Every structure is written in C-alpha cells, then in structure tokens.
Amino acid sequence: MTPLHYRRPEESDHRRVVEAIPLWWKMPPEAAPTGLLPRLFFQHFTDTSILVEDDSGQLAAFLIGFRSASRPETAYIHFVGVAPELQRHGVARDLYERFFAMMRDRGCTRVDAITGPINRRSQSFHGALGFTQAGDTEVDGVLAYLDYDGPGQHRVTFTRAL
C-alpha cells in the first residue's frame, strides 16, 4: 500500500474533506452526511483529530474526535472516513488505535461513538475493534435507540474501555 502521512487537520482542510464524503460514502451529495461535519470541527477540535494523506498529498483518511468537555473520562469519535481504494487495509483501525493512545494519555477511560441502524459497515467495523453496541428497540433488524437524535433519527451507540 502507498505510504501514508498522518497530521493534525487544519481549517483549510475542511473543504476537501466535505467534498470527499459523497464519494467515499457512495451517496449523492444531497443525501451524503456532510452536514455532520461543519467547519467548527476544523477550528475547535483539530488537536484531537487526525488527517491522512498519501505520498502525493491526496486525502486518504480522516478521524474527527475529541475529549468530552462535560465527561472528561470519555473520548468521542464523531466521524471517520477512508478513501475507497484504501479500505480494508487497516487504515481506520490504525487511526482508532492512534486516537485511543492519545486519549489514554489525556486520562480518558472510555471511548464512545454512534451510527445509524442501517450502517452495517460501521457496526461491523466497531464490533471488530471491540466496541459494545447498544440500543433498546429493533430498527431495520438491529437494536437502536428510537429518536436518539430527534424524530426519526434512530441511532446505535458504541462504547469501549480504553
């Protein structure tokens, strides 16, 4: 696989990350979850997030995460993506392990994340990384919390000890 280079994201990276989302999620722009990644994440959460580029400077992957301001023992992974041609090569696993180490150093003892009930790929990935999946109602064949993020916005939660 091509050599990869890891660094903190900068505000100027916001545009190309947002532009990558429909391609990487394989969704039309109007349906892609770009709204989950407003510019503020590239202003206020850069010291705990990671951006990956290949040798030519092309965007290869990113992880947006942070330490909870209200629950300092908890780290939170908000968003992760890997370029399609690099998927299933352990890039996201490596990003998560880098994030876990960074958060352990800051004193966190658990890491949380969420996804939608239909995102089976995310559920398989988090399961493979040792996360416990939770929900209280069967939605689309998996347990999810109904209306977790608002009416109709059901979510599966993940947690893992650090």
Ligand X SMILES: CC(C)(COP(=O)(O)OP(=O)(O)OC[C@H]1O[C@@H](n2cnc3c(N)ncnc32)[C@H](O)[C@@H]1OP(=O)(O)O)[C@@H](O)C(=O)NCCC(=O)NCCS
Using the contact rule CB under 6 A, the part of the chain among 6-14, 37-45, 86-94, 103-111 near ligand X is 86-94
Helices (H) and strands (E) in the chain, counts: 4, 9
- The SS3 of residue 1 is coil
With the CA atoms of 68, 24, 87 and 48 taken in that order, what torsion angle do they form, in degrees rounded to the nearest 10?
Answer: -20
User: For residue 97, what are the CA distances in angstroms to 27, 57, 76?
Assistant: 28, 23, 13
Instruction: Show the DSSP H helices in 55-115 as ranges.
Output: 91-105
Q: Which amino acid is at 79?
A: F
- CA 10, chain centre distance (Å): 17
* Contact between 128 and ligand X per CB under 6 A: yes
Residue among 7 and 107 whose Cβ is closer to ligand X: 7
Could you say which of 71, 89, 104, 106 contacts ligand X (CB under 6 A)?
89
**Closest distance between ligand X and the C-beta of residue 69, in Å?**
22
Structural contact between residues 75 and 111, judged by C-beta atoms closer than 8 angstroms: yes
- The SS3 of residue 142 is strand
Count residues near ligand X (CB under 6 A). Answer: 19
Could you say which of 17, 24, 65, 108 contacts ligand X (CB under 6 A)?
24
Residue among 76 and 125 whose Cβ is closer to ligand X: 125
* Contact between 111 and ligand X per CB under 6 A: no
**Closest distance between ligand X and the C-beta of residue 12, in Å?**
22
Structural contact between residues 50 and 59, judged by C-beta atoms closer than 8 angstroms: no
* Contact between 12 and ligand X per CB under 6 A: no
* Contact between 50 and ligand X per CB under 6 A: no
* Contact between 125 and ligand X per CB under 6 A: yes
* Contact between 122 and ligand X per CB under 6 A: yes
Q: Which residues would be at the binding site for ligand X (CB under 6 A)?
A: 24-25, 80-82, 87-93, 115, 119, 121-122, 124-125, 128
